[in-house]
Chains A and B, each alone.
Chain A
């Protein structure tokens, strides 16, 4: 692990203080010099075990700090990804160049984003030569989105970026969206200037009005207008310190954001403007061995495909909107993929003392690896006996399985819930 990561962790070593810390010391150059390598301490035995435990404790705490009350997340998301294609992106401060790194991370981001937001859609706009340039239309198909940024030559950076033009273009392509879906803009911005035709603050006003959420990941330094865009629209702003941090900032935007409380104003019981009933079609999958026919999306001869239940036209991939009748076509696994946000696994309790260990449980209930026999002094939030107990089925799990169950599987091995 490069030292900078430890530095990051040092900054947010206490989650409750992070906002205060950031508020006091907004800029790296104003902060005192931290010797990040000294934060990793060897313990008496000469191992890094304690430092490692620290990191794990932080992960656990973060999960426990997650809002206990119900928050509402946007399940159906629409995101316009604005890529900076100005000449500033050829800077080599991030290897190999900012541009290449951005493309690579953008691809990973899109894959991960669609994995977590299967019903969402992404469009791509580029900022080049003072213009906004439509690179990819809004689409729910990851392959199509990835294809639009697959050609590096076509995206070769040049000229100045224009924030206003790009945001206007992105807003324009999201103006028709229904109210229940989110409208988000993510800008990856490498330049320190923007060349706008008009007053960008008016654009910002209209974004706030149409509830577009703008997030910016800057690669060079903080710009006042970028922070303002994010603060006023409720998005996130971050300046990437290095390659790893750039990726972290980007991937923080993958999980569905909490929906802003519109209903609080209108009051309970009234019609929720953000909720709506959507018509969706569940397609029939044609087997691979069926006779080939033309698909309506690419006009290609194919044997496999999905039949739209309303107009029976053949589309290549789901989820998508039917090209003929406009029906939203999804498969039931796509809907099911969002359910883990709706029904999360309860956080496990750390078993605090040896006396709470029941008879006959000597190994992790999930991976069957034995627990340590002796208790070791542990940090707050961690179990000294290395056991984490499900509040429902009262089985004990090791720390790795605890993380794995909550972050990946989303299903408790003991109670199957």
Chain B
């Protein structure tokens, strides 16, 4: 029912789009000097602005927010709910909302890239993604706050808000950086909250290797993941492939699907990708072979289990070697910061005495 209503476009609610830009200077430098298909930041920004303008132009009620992930920090570049900072000179040849968007975004990107950045730090994609999650939530809360008590914030934000009030929010991640193993848990947490809030995450990897995290994000939230083959055709990918139409309309379009998503995990001991792993019941650490003591939470396992598991192990060598024949994923989907004795403060696995 909801589906058809959106198709008939008789709803007066627009859709909300948050765009997360990965502006890692090092990666963009590599992208600009790439031999096969170079893409400079300036070209990227101009194509992006055309896409953003297209989103605003689709419907008057459409809202937009743009976030940037830079090495070590994340910032909000633009939000359509923001009042204009200073009155821009009226240009008779341009539509004022487009103009305002273009000016703000380009000015802020230029300012950010001119500032001193620590290139050693990885892009703060997680921070930008989390901010993008907070934004549509607060937008919908603003609308709801007039007639609901704040104790219901959780219930409302957990998708129990009246469906018509919340426009289909979605997040588009334009990434150039490879996966960062240390950000696995926060990024998965953001993905799960997006899933819970019914926010669609689309991802487009413009440069660099495929990212497993973003593939999983798109898969789990019902969005699409696209790896850009022809970088100079970015705008066509953005507009024509799948990122411009809101999710309800995509059902009737032929959007690119993901063939293979890796659901395997890397063991914590050797960082091998395993098919069959051994998991600690206390902290869910994964090992490629039965171990007597969990290296993360120092739990000792019963001898009986070890014997039983050793007997039950697949005879065809260790899982690691049997896996080497398979196409290995580009990155390890599961890897946590190395245990250094600092156990979680009030989580499940603590010192057990």
Contact = CB atoms under 8 A, between A and B. Distances in A.
Interface of A: 1, 5, 9, 52, 55-56, 59, 66-76, 115, 180-181, 256, 259, 263-264, 267-285, 287-289, 306, 309-310, 318, 327, 331-333, 335-344, 346, 365-369, 400-401, 403-405, 407-417
B50 interface: no
8 contacts: A70-B346, A277-B305, A281-B277, A282-B274, A332-B333, A367-B138, A400-B141, A411-B130
B64 to A, nearest CB: 13
Interface of B: 74, 76, 79, 82, 124, 126-127, 130-131, 133-135, 137-138, 141, 148-154, 157-158, 183-186, 188-193, 196-197, 216, 220, 257-261, 263-265, 274-284, 286-287, 290-291, 294, 299-303, 305-306, 309, 312, 314, 333-334, 343-353
Given A368-B76, A401-B134, A275 B344 contact: no
Given A288-B257, A368-B79, A408-B158, A68 B309 contact: no
5 tightest Cβ-Cβ pairs between the two chains A and B: A70-B350, A268-B353, A309-B275, A416-B126, A331-B263
| Most chain A CB neighbours (cut-off 10 Å) among B134, B276, B312, B353 | B134
Given A339-B188, A368-B79, A410-B189, A271 B347 contact: no
A366 to B, nearest CB: 4
Given A75-B281, A416-B127, A416-B130, A282 B264 contact: yes
Contact of B189 (A310, A346, A403, A411): A411
Contacts of B153: 400, 403-404
B347 A70 contact: yes
Nearest to A258: B348
Contacts of A69: 346, 350
A251 B74 CA distance: 35
B126 A115 contact: no
A344 B188 contact: no
Contacts of A9: 151
Contact of A280 (B137, B183, B276, B350): B276
B276 A277 contact: no
Given A288-B257, A337-B192, A339-B189, 19 more contacts: A1-B152, A56-B151, A70-B345, A75-B281, A264-B353, A267-B353, A272-B282, A273-B302, A277-B309, A306-B263, A309-B276, A318-B263, A335-B265, A337-B188, A342-B284, A342-B348, A343-B347, A405-B130, A413-B131
A181 B284 CA distance: 13
B140 to A, nearest CB: 11
A74 to B, nearest CB: 8
B284 A335 contact: yes
A401 to B, nearest CB: 5
Contacts, number: 254
**Binding site of B, secondary structure by majority: helix, strand, loop or mixed?**
mixed
A177 to B, nearest CB: 12
B304 to A, nearest CB: 9
A286 B90 CA distance: 55
A335 B279 contact: yes
Nearest to A66: B346
Given A71-B346, A411-B126, A366 B134 contact: yes
Main secondary structure of the interface of A (DSSP, over half): loop
B184 A277 contact: no
A52 B312 CA distance: 58
Contacts of A332: 263-265, 333-334
Contact of B278 (A280, A310, A336): A280
Nearest to B299: A275
Contacts of A263: 352-353
Contacts of A67: 346
A259 B57 CA distance: 55
Contact of A416 (B124, B152, B258): B124
B211 to A, nearest CB: 15
Nearest to A115: B196
A335 B286 contact: yes
B126 to A, nearest CB: 4
Contacts of A277: 278-281, 287, 290-291, 301, 305-306, 309
Contacts of A74: 348
A353 B279 CA distance: 47
Contacts of B290: 277
A247 to B, nearest CB: 10
B196 A68 contact: no
Contact of B334 (A180, A278, A336): A336
Nearest to A67: B346
Contacts of B279: 277-280, 335
A331 B261 CA distance: 11
A289 B256 CA distance: 12
B149 A52 contact: yes
A76 B281 contact: yes
A256 to B, nearest CB: 7
A365 B124 CA distance: 14
Contacts of B148: 1
B343 A368 contact: no
Nearest to A40: B149
A53 to B, nearest CB: 9
B284 A401 contact: no
Given A68-B345, A75-B281, A416 B134 contact: no
Contacts of A280: 276-279, 286
B193 A342 contact: no
B134 A344 contact: no
A415 B76 CA distance: 15
A366 B186 contact: no
A336 B185 contact: yes
B344 A342 contact: yes
Contact of A408 (B157, B186, B263): B157
Contacts of B283: 342
Nearest to A264: B353
B136 to A, nearest CB: 10
A179 B192 CA distance: 29
B218 to A, nearest CB: 12
Given A282-B264, A332-B264, A416-B127, A272 B276 contact: no
A285 B263 contact: yes
Contacts of B197: 408
A70 B347 CA distance: 6
A272 B291 CA distance: 14
